[in-house]
């Protein structure tokens, strides 16, 4: 899957949430949120666990991001499938 570098230098979860909500010219908010959740779960060492990935999506929403959670979870799990 193609990856965005939009979140690489966010600096804070709040800024990352703003970037996710805004999306980019290429990536929808759901794609960015899914990529974020996969990356965060991977850092935790639990990237294959759907509940862990979903928890990272919840964290992103609590930080103020607006996106469709089910669509973002589907994208995150596509990242998981590709990584396995």
Task: Check residue 67 and report its DSSP letter.
Answer: -
* CA pair distance 32, 36, nearest whole angstrom: 6
The pLDDT value given to residue 43: 87
18: in domain = yes
Q: Which domain holds residue 53?
A: 13-83
65: in domain = yes
Render pLDDT for 25-55 as a digit per residue (tens, 0 to 9). Answer: 999 999 999 999 999 999 888 778 899 999 9
2: in domain = no
Number of domains forming the structure of the chain = 1
The pLDDT value given to residue 55: 96
The pLDDT value given to residue 84: 84
1: in domain = no
């Amino acid at each position: 899957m193609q990856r965005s570098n939009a979140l690489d230098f966010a600096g804070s979860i709040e800024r990352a949430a703003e970037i996710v909500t805004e999306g980019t010219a290429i990536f929808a908010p759901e794609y960015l949120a899914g990529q974020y959740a996969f990356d965060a779960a991977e850092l935790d060492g639990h990237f294959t666990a759907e509940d862990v990935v979903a928890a990272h999506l919840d964290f992103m929403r609590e930080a103020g991001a607006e996106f469709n959670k089910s669509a973002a979870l589907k994208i995150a799990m596509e990242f998981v499938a590709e990584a396995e």
